[in-house]
Structure 1
Amino acid sequence: MASFNIEKRAKTDGSFSYRAVVRVKKDGKIIHRESKTFSKKELARSWGLNRSSAIENDQVFNRGTVITIFELLNLYFNDHDLWNGTGRTKQFVIKMLMGCDISKLKSNELRTSDLIEHCKNRRSAGAGPATIYHDIAYLRSVMKKAGPVWNIDANHKIFEDAVPVLIEMGLVGKSQKRTRRPTDNELDKLRDGLKERMDYRPNGKVRIPFLDILDFSILTCMRIGEVCKLRWEDLNEDHKTILVRDRKDPRKKEGNHMIVPLLAGSFDIAMKQSRYDDLIFPYNSRSVTAGFQRVRNALGIEDLRYHDLRREGASRLFEKGYSIEEVAQVTGHRNLNILWQVYTQLFPHKLHDKFLANE
């Protein structure tokens, strides 16, 4: 049954606002809650009446069947159109959620208290706020698709009220911005280790040129997935540029092609690769990162990820005096604030070199 009430709230300027809160109960439990704030009580009351009426008339809640969250996640897993376009992190989280207690709940009966309990259980298991935030974000994403894709009732609006509570309780939160850059000594050790791996531990029939890929990744600021998809046909030898296809962009999943300059020695590294394949670096990106990780671990280098090489490359360009717009042309960032805040970690001592060069 749907009902609503009006909450009067005092504002800092002495005036009042009116919040209409609509609730839906089933078997004595609140299974849905939504709210909206207005400047006048009459507007809040009108909205509350209309929303309650819409729910009672089956325009919202009884339009589809009810299944468990596990079954809903399984539907997503088995939908190739959705699953194949999902990133590895989200896929991992969805599979993990299918084994959690929260998956036993009905799709239209999820409550804030259920989410709090799930987050506390995950915290007890050692997960941090940023990791748990992925649980909530990806579960919400799946539940929002329940109605339009499978005609399933899913209470996805509960997240609007739940997320602020989870943040306030410290159960979920954003990840800390990484500032890790490899030192010159660490890079020298990595190069020696990777060279030894190439000489004595070839990867099957094809030896991965770890050293070339390492240096190319730093000089171009490319993600390893981008490096391993570069094509000879997209290389412009006259201009020393290359077309990077489908660069990562949160606003555009495909077709985000970009011409990138191959600065410093990156062009020479590309040119010396064998041309037996359509790809310049025809290797599995996971195999490249796995080799990097094994060498890194053997050397005892802590808290260094392959993706940190992208930050290393961008920071080097800034230290050499490139403008933020010029660096963005290399890294592919559309949002310059993100480039500056996340991918820039300058070594203070390098500023002396720039000062001396300009004397």
Structure 2
Amino acid sequence: MASFTVEKRKTAAGVIRYRCIVRVKKDKAIVYQESRTFGKLADARTWGKAMVSHIETQGIPGQTPEIPTIRELITMYQQDPDISKKIGRTKGYVLNLLVDSDISKLQADKLTTMAIINHCRDRNAAGAKPQTVAQDISYLKSVYTSAKPVFGIPVTDEVIREVIPVLHSMGLIGRSERRSRRPTSDEIGRLREGLAKRMSHRGSKIPLTDILDFSILSCMRISEVCAIRWGDIDEEARAVMVRNRKDPRKKAGNHMWVPLLGEAWNIVQRQPRENELIFPYESRSVTAAFQRVRNALGIEDLRYHDLRREGASRLFEAGFGIEEVAQVTGHRSLNLLWQVYTELFPGRLHAKMKAEKH
């Protein structure tokens, strides 16, 4: 482990100097040491911090870093304090699966296209769909992309990038199938009743029915619902700032004002103001409760995220245009909303054309 200390010294001429000593210890023995003297304490500390950071990411100067296994590299990736904050539920699950797979036993620099192809074949044979296996490759690629700049491990994602077109052509990986599932009014009614029953249990604190209705009315993802703040409410505009809204072109800082239409505003106003968050609950707990109730009711092939599509569909049915719906859903590209619209009203454009001719 690398560390540094600063010693204050006085020269024969009476000048104060600061000597920074950087050391690396292994099993209590010093395996590397370097020092430098500065006229200012701040400069000595800055150099020491920079050296420690360099050693921890790039290895000891002059020494070739030891190549870890893929399993060890994934673990390093998962445990990095900055990266771990960005790993969502799905990505975490896939990375854990990769850690337990045969491919992870390889040394990180020994990964080959054949090894990747065999991994995908094994996953397909075990019943995983091509779009599911594609996640394995995508998240493994993100680990390799970070290996050299973050951890100083001299490997790149070149092999993975090279094999991806081949995997597609072989049908081993594929794009996710576009969903068009909408809950029926009966299903929503039953879900609301089931969630209300869970809320009646002793110790239950989450307003599950309010969150269900708000998710539909606001078209927000559940992670967004559980992150909106009282301080980001615009009372006059009846809107809320949704921070870091998902955008494939921009991972962070994508803040967006979202209007809280109709009952969505009333649901917010009746929440207790006891926390900076409007819905101060763990999104995974909300999703888990939804899944348990859904399964108990025998409702098949319905995901929480489908409520977002339900909300968009309701707005279209209420007469809102695509650009107006996008202000609520946050879609930067209107392609998906066009698909939702044309599925709801496949004959509307033809009818409009006929009306204009007459």
TM-score for the superposition, normalised by structure 2: 0.75
Conservation of the 8 A alpha-carbon contact between 2:268 and 2:278 = yes
- Return the alpha-carbon distance in structure 2 between the equivalents of residues 63 and 186 of structure 1: 60
Change (3 A) 1:269 1:246: same
Query: Quick check: 2:147–2:156 contact (8 Å CA) kept in 1?
Result: no
Correspondence 1:63-74 to 2 at 5 A:
65-74=66-75
Partner of 1:265: 263
Q: Does 1:319 align with 2:317?
A: yes
Aligned twin of 1:163? 164
1:170 Cα deviation (Å)? 1.0
In structure 2, runs of 5+ residues without a counterpart are 1-62, 353-358
Describe how 1:184-263 pairs up with structure 2 within 5 A.
184-199=185-200, 201-202=201-202, 204=203, 206-263=204-261
Residue equivalent to 2:104: 103
- Give yes or no for contact 2:65–2:153 (8 Å, CA) kept in 1: yes
User: Per-residue CA shift, 1:263-312, capped at 9, x if unaligned?
Assistant: 12111111112222222222221221111111111111101111100000
How far, CA to CA, are the matches of 1:340 and 1:139 in structure 2? 33
- Residues 182 and 274 (structure 1), Cα distance of their counterparts in 2 relative to 1, 3 Å cut: same
1:293-341 Cα distance to aligned partner (Å, 9 max, x none): 1111111110111110000001111122211111111011111113333
Alpha-carbon contact 1:73-1:98 (below 8 Å) kept: yes
Counterpart residue number, 1:142: 143
Contact kept in structure 1, 2:67 and 2:107, CA below 8 Å: yes
Aligned residue identity for 1:90: K
Q: For 1:284, which of 276, 282, 285 is the aligned residue?
A: 282
Contact map agreement 2:148 2:156 (CA 8 A) in 1: no
Contact 1:107 1:154 in 2 (8 A): yes
Gaps of 5+ in 1: 1-61
CA contact (8 A) 1:65 1:151 kept: no
In 1, the alpha carbon distance for the partners of 2:265 and 2:248 equals 28
Identity of aligned residues (%): 55
Q: Does the 8 Å CA contact 1:83/1:91 hold for their aligned counterparts? A: no
With the length of structure 1 as denominator, give the TM-score of the two structures: 0.74
Provide runs of 4+ in structure 1 moved above 6 Å: none
Q: Tell me how far 1:109 sits from its aligned partner.
A: 2.2
TM-superposed deviation, 1:345: 7.3
Q: CA deviation at 1:218?
A: 0.7
Q: Distance in 2 between matches of 1:78 and 1:270?
A: 36
CA distance in 1, matches of 2:329, 2:262: 15
Determine the structure 2 residue equivalent to 1:306: 304
Alignment of 1:35-74 (within 5 A): 65-74=66-75
Q: Distance in 1 between matches of 2:213 and 2:347?
A: 20
Q: What RMSD in Å do the two structures reach over aligned CA positions?
A: 2.4
Return the alpha-carbon distance in structure 2 between the equivalents of residues 120 and 196 of structure 1: 44
* One-letter code aligned to 2:155: A
